[in-house]
């Protein structure tokens, strides 16, 4: 019995002593989570720009530059960062290996400013949003194109005009003047008044060689359909005898209707009737000026040219300066009116409106107008070519070519000059 008690006591004692023994053994082994020993020295030098940069080693912030501290042996990923405003920073990054007992020195040279991680994420999110918006806009544009195409193919006049505009502007399709023209004709023939007007305008001044008969025809159709631009265009055909005989009474009728509808060309036409005492109107410069001012207020290019030329010629005084007059002509030219381009060339060639004579600039304007079919501009180029002006070499042969082109485009001056140079 005593032996049993003794054995039991020994067992209990063992169970009480064992945990302490295990704790002592555990204390003698290094902990898996203990910090590594700091056995090397790292010194980071700084120039004026990098002083105060925040230094991190292996992802842990350790201080600011200049930096001098003990570090563990092994591979060190050094990163120094200095903020530049709210969204940018300058960064230095380097990886190096240090051994036990070593001392390493590096100079911090910050890189160029770059976006911070947060700003970069924000910028990437913005760019992605823009990309998605562009993709959606493209999807919608393609859907609209398909809808317009389908409607046009099914005979919708408005859609046909839209297709003409698309091909003219390269909107959703490649620019194609032939396709634009074809769709414009289809829209006009299908009854679209705007297309009728544009077709008349194209034949009058945009599709050389100009066909005034077709211009008069389509302006007439547009006018009958109630289009103010068509009314004004038809009035111009009648007053100028283009595409048919001169008819002052019809010119007045259509100019009046166009002007009443707020059309600037119609208003300018009324000004011309009073100025020239045509269409049964008495010569009345006061009324002519009133109508022209109204036309000018609408931005009508013909009124711009008329007022500008009257000022430069001394027919309109006490209002606009020569510089303002020249600016009006330039505005009309910049708006794409070929006739105004020719006049710009003329004022430079003759030194009008306070300009110094400049045949080189004049020649450039003449070419712009000639390229758009203005016969008088072709005559002007021939004139400069014949005399060797504007940087051109004097050449009767080349001048004859230009006079011939002008004559073929309907210029009587071109025809006469051609005969003179040919000795006829």
CATH of residue 57: 2.60.40
What pLDDT, on the 0 to 100 scale, is given for residue 33? Answer: 53
The Cα–Cα gap between 66 and 52 comes to 7
Q: Are 333 and 413 within one domain?
A: yes
Task: Assess contact for 61 and 55: CB atoms under 8 A.
Answer: yes
Return the CATH number at 319. 1.25.40.10
Q: Are 128 and 83 within one domain?
A: no
Task: Assess contact for 255 and 229: CB atoms under 8 A.
Answer: no
The Cα–Cα gap between 109 and 94 comes to 11
Domain membership of residue 245 (yes or no) is: no
Q: Are 105 and 182 within one domain?
A: no
- Residue 361: in which H helix or E strand, if any? helix 359-371
The Cα–Cα gap between 97 and 93 comes to 14
Task: Assess contact for 106 and 71: CB atoms under 8 A.
Answer: no
Q: Are 125 and 110 within one domain?
A: no
The Cα–Cα gap between 46 and 67 comes to 8
Domain membership of residue 240 (yes or no) is: no
Q: Are 424 and 317 within one domain?
A: yes
Q: Are 102 and 144 within one domain?
A: no
Question: Which positions ≥6 away from 342 have C-beta within 8 Å?
Answer: 365, 366, 369, 374, 376, 377, 380
Q: Give the range of the structural domain holding residue 144, as residue numbers without chain letter.
A: 120-191
Asked which of 88, 115, 142 is the last residue of a domain, the reply is: 115
Domain membership of residue 12 (yes or no) is: no
Six token digits for residue 413: 């001056």
Domain membership of residue 422 (yes or no) is: yes
Six token digits for residue 182: 């074809």
Residue 387 CB coordination number (10 Å):
12
Domain membership of residue 291 (yes or no) is: no
Domain membership of residue 331 (yes or no) is: yes
The Cα–Cα gap between 88 and 387 comes to 65
- Residue whose tokens read 């020719």: 342
Q: Are 318 and 401 within one domain?
A: yes
Q: Are 336 and 406 within one domain?
A: yes
- The dihedral built from the CA positions of residue 304, 305, 308 and 314, taken in this order, carries a sign that is negative
Judged on CB neighbours under 10 Å (0-12, 13-18, 19+), 86 is exposed
* pLDDT tens, N- to C-terminus, the chain (424 residues): 334 333 333 333 333 434 444 444 444 444 445 567 888 999 999 999 999 999 999 999 999 999 999 999 999 999 999 999 999 999 999 999 999 999 999 999 999 999 999 999 999 999 999 999 999 999 999 999 999 999 999 999 999 999 999 999 999 999 999 999 999 999 999 999 999 999 999 999 999 889 999 999 999 999 999 999 999 999 999 999 999 999 999 999 999 999 999 999 999 999 999 999 999 999 999 999 999 999 999 999 999 999 999 999 999 988 899 999 999 999 999 999 999 999 999 999 999 988 999 999 999 999 999 999 999 999 999 999 999 999 999 999 999 999 999 999 999 999 999 999 998 6
- Residue whose tokens read 């110094």: 356
The neighbouring-strand residues paired with 98 are 74
Domain membership of residue 226 (yes or no) is: no
Domain count, the chain: 3
Asked which of 78, 94, 115 is the last residue of a domain, the reply is: 115
Strands 103-108 and 38-46: parallel
Task: Assess contact for 295 and 261: CB atoms under 8 A.
Answer: no
**0.85 exceeded by pTM:** no
Q: Are 329 and 399 within one domain?
A: yes
Q: Are 412 and 333 within one domain?
A: yes
Q: Are 161 and 87 within one domain?
A: no
3-state secondary structure of 94: strand
Domain membership of residue 323 (yes or no) is: yes
Q: Are 81 and 65 within one domain?
A: yes
The neighbouring-strand residues paired with 90 are 82
Six token digits for residue 159: 């859609």
What pLDDT, on the 0 to 100 scale, is given for residue 34? Answer: 59
Strands 54-57 and 74-84: antiparallel
CA angle 180/181/182 to nearest 5° reads 95
The neighbouring-strand residues paired with 104 are 42
Asked which of 153, 170, 191 is the last residue of a domain, the reply is: 191
3-state secondary structure of 392: coil
């Amino acid at each position: 019995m005593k032996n049993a008690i003794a054995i039991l006591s020994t067992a209990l004692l063992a169970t009480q002593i064992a945990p302490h023994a295990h704790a002592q053994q555990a204390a003698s082994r290094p902990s898996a989570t203990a910090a590594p020993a700091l056995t090397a020295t790292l010194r980071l030098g700084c120039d004026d720009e990098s002083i105060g940069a925040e230094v991190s080693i292996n992802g842990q912030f350790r201080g600011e530059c200049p930096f001098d501290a003990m570090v563990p042996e092994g591979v060190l990923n050094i990163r120094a960062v200095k903020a530049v405003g709210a969204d940018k920073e300058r960064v230095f990054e380097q990886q190096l290996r240090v051994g036990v007992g070593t001392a390493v020195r590096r100079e911090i040279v910050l890189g160029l400013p770059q976006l911070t991680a947060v700003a970069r994420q924000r910028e990437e999110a913005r760019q992605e949003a823009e990309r998605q918006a562009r993709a959606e806009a493209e999807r919608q544009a393609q859907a609209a194109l398909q809808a317009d195409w389908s409607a046009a193919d099914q005979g919708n006049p408005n859609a046909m005009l839209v297709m003409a505009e698309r091909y003219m502007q390269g909107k959703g399709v490649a620019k194609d003047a032939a396709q634009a023209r074809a769709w414009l004709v289809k829209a006009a023939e299908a009854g679209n008044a705007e297309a009728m007007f544009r077709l008349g305008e194209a034949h009058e001044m945009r599709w050389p060689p100009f066909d005034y008969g077709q211009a008069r025809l389509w302006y007439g159709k547009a006018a009958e359909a109630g289009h103010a631009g068509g009314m004004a265009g038809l009035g111009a055909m009648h007053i100028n005898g283009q595409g048919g005989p001169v008819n002052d009474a019809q010119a007045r009728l259509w100019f009046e209707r166009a002007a009443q509808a707020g059309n600037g060309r119609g208003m300018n036409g009324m000004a011309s009737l009073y100025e020239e005492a045509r269409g049964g109107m008495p010569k009345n410069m006061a009324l002519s000026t009133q109508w022209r001012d109204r036309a000018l207020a609408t931005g009508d290019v013909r009124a711009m040219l008329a007022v500008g030329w009257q000022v430069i010629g001394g027919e309109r005084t006490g209002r606009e300066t020569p510089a303002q007059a020249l600016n009006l002509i330039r505005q009309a030219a910049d708006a794409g009116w070929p006739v105004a381009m020719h006049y710009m060339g003329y004022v430079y060639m003759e030194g009008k409106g306070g300009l110094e004579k400049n045949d080189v600039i004049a020649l450039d304007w003449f070419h712009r107008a000639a390229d758009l079919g203005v016969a008088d501009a072709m005559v002007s180029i021939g004139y400069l070519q014949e005399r060797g002006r504007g940087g051109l070499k004097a050449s009767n042969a080349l001048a004859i070519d230009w006079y011939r082109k002008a004559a073929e485009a309907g210029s009587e001056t071109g025809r006469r000059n051609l005969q003179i140079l040919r000795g006829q």
